[in-house]
Amino acid sequence: MNNKSEILFEKSKMFMPGGVNSPVRAFRAVHRNPLFIDRANGAKIYDIDDNEYIDYVCSWGPGILGHADSRVIEAVKRACDKGLTFGAPTENEYILVELVNELMPSMEMIRLVNSGTEAVMSAIRAARGFTGRDKIVKFRGCYHGHSDGLLVKAGSGALTQSIPDSLGVPADYSKNTLVAEYNNNASVEKLFDMYGEDIAAIIVEPVAANMGVVLPDKEFLKDLRRIVDKYKSLLIFDEVITGFRLSLGGAQEYFGVRPDITTLGKIVGGGMPLAAYGGRRDVMDMIAPLGGVYQAGTLSGNPIATTAGIETLKILKEEKGIYKKINDNAVKIKNAVESTFGNSVCVNQIGSLISVFFTEKRVTDYETAISSDTEKYADYFNYMLDKGIYLAPSQFEAMFISAVHSDEDIEKTCAAIKNYKA
């Protein structure tokens, strides 16, 4: 029964576009009305009609410790008692950035912001300010938030909504965004041959996770490093999803490639609105008040958000075995899907990130990702939801495994997959 969700959705649509505050939440791609969530705990999420689901959305990535981890919640409650925001420096900010720097040493200097969109927008401004160049290279199907210049061939919500480019973005704002193909270094070389001296940076999701999960080929990231070095351009890793998820040190540690600038979001805020960008000291020296690249924020480094981030990162750092456990569980799910669907699907999995593409092709880039049958995905999603398993309501989003998905949760999920009937 979804009566309360249905009624609330109807009412919400009167005051919020599509009834939601972020498009993919509206469940449009799966032809169903969204569930309104009341609460969540551990691996379980509960809607306002009191249905229970095993959650594999995990708030789109932040929930690596599952929901409402008592250590995080207690720390946040204590922080609330001291006041919600001061607009002045706090010790928390220092503790968080020191921890981030320890886990990701390439982030020599760090600035805290409020969302991944803001982190990426600011990182690009820093890269442009530092190099004195205007152009950037992004990859088709990679999503870097909704700022004007980056909504070009973006993935995620923009893919299922079939809005390749957003209305309201003047062509002038995106004319400096060059688009290359993921896993295709020749396409990058070609852009650098033409515009190399004008390119400030390449921005990439080191593991693409917004056209579904797409793994980088063995040499892809290393080649990007080589290309930017040749042209004295910068390499930006958008680790908003991969940071602290693929490994404690993110994709840069996992693949052994050091970016000049990194953007973080999702996990770094431990479930609160917090994100970060940072990198080489000489680049970050360009940021105001030190340098001429202006960037500011009323709530940036918020004491409650930093508390959630600190507690989350501390737990990830101290609790050994989390990354192995979530990877092993992801492999179990991958195996269940492959044994059920065989060659009619392509399952991409790395660490705790998985996508099931309903295509017989091997998915390695945007072109192959969109070859998947989104209607088949919708059927699969609806079947799983009816079995009490909450997957991302879109073919082009990742499935996230958390540290608190139990053996029982994973077994129940695999059993549901194995009994699949369209």
Q: Would you please indicate which residues are annotated as catalytic (active-site) residues?
A: 143, 238, 266
Binding status of residue 139 toward ligand PLP by CB under 6 A: no
Separation CA 143–CA 238 (nearest Å): 9
Q: Minimum distance between the CB of residue 37 and ligand PLP, rounded to whole angstroms? A: 18
Contact window for ligand PLP (CB under 6 A) among 94-102, 141-149, 219-227, 333-341 = 141-149
d(CA 175, CA 397): 27
C-alpha pair distances (Å), 227 with each of 98, 127, 192, 233, 250: 30, 16, 8, 8, 22
| Residue 342: CB minimum distance to ligand PLP, A | 30
Is 396 a binding residue for ligand PLP by CB under 6 A? The answer is no
Contact 243, 264 (CB under 8 A): yes
- Return the number of the residue (200 or 211) whose C-beta is nearest ligand PLP: 211
Q: How many CB atoms lie within 10 A of CB 67?
A: 23
Q: What is the DSSP string of 119-157?
A: HHHHHHHHHHHHHT--EEEEETT----S-GGG-BS--TH
Using the rule CB under 6 A, which residue among 55, 238, 260, 397 binds ligand PLP?
238
Stretch 248-267 residues interacting with ligand PLP (CB under 6 A): 265
Bond prior to 289 in cis (omega within 30° of 0)? yes
Instruction: Report d(CA 251, CA 240) in Å as an integer.
Output: 10
Q: Compute the C-alpha angle 228/231/237, nearest 5°.
A: 20
| Only segment of 76-84, 132-140, 143-151, 407-415 that touches ligand PLP (CB under 6 A) | 143-151
Indicate the residue among 242 and 359 with the shorter CB distance to ligand PLP: 242
Cβ nearer to ligand PLP, comparing 206 with 413: 206
Distance of closest approach, residue 155 Cβ to ligand PLP, in angstroms: 9
Q: Does 157 bind ligand PLP (CB under 6 A)?
A: no
| Residue nearest ligand PLP, CB atom distance | 116
Q: Which of 29, 36, 30, 31 is nearest to 13 (CA)?
A: 36
Quote the least distance from Cβ 333 to ligand PLP, whole Å. Answer: 21
The token duo for 311 is 């507690």
The one among 19, 23, 34, 116 contacting ligand PLP by CB under 6 A: 116
Nearer to ligand PLP, 120 or 363 (CB): 120
Residues engaged in binding ligand PLP (CB under 6 A): 115-117, 120, 143-145, 205, 210, 238, 240-241, 265, 275
